[in-house]
Amino acid sequence: MPNKAEILLVNPLHGLAPYVEKEDEEYMSGAQEAHFKVILNTWKKELMEEVDRTVTHMKDEAANFPDPADRATQEEEFSLELRTRDRERKLIKKIDSTIERIEGKDYGFCDQCGVEIGIRRLEARPTADLCVDCKTLDEIKERQLTGG
Q: What is the spatial distance between Cα 98 and Cα 115, in angstroms, rounded to a whole number?
A: 17
CATH topology of domain 20-146: Four Helix Bundle (Hemerythrin (Met), subunit A) (1.20.120)
Task: Tell me the average pLDDT across 52-80.
Answer: 83
pTM, two decimal places = 0.80
What's the pLDDT score for residue 65? 78
* Phi, psi at 133, each rounded to 5°: -65, -45
State pLDDT tens for residues 8-32: 444 555 678 888 888 999 999 999 9
* Phi, psi at 16, each rounded to 5°: -110, 145
Characterise 123 by phi-psi region: left (phi > 0), alpha (psi -120 to 50), beta (else): alpha
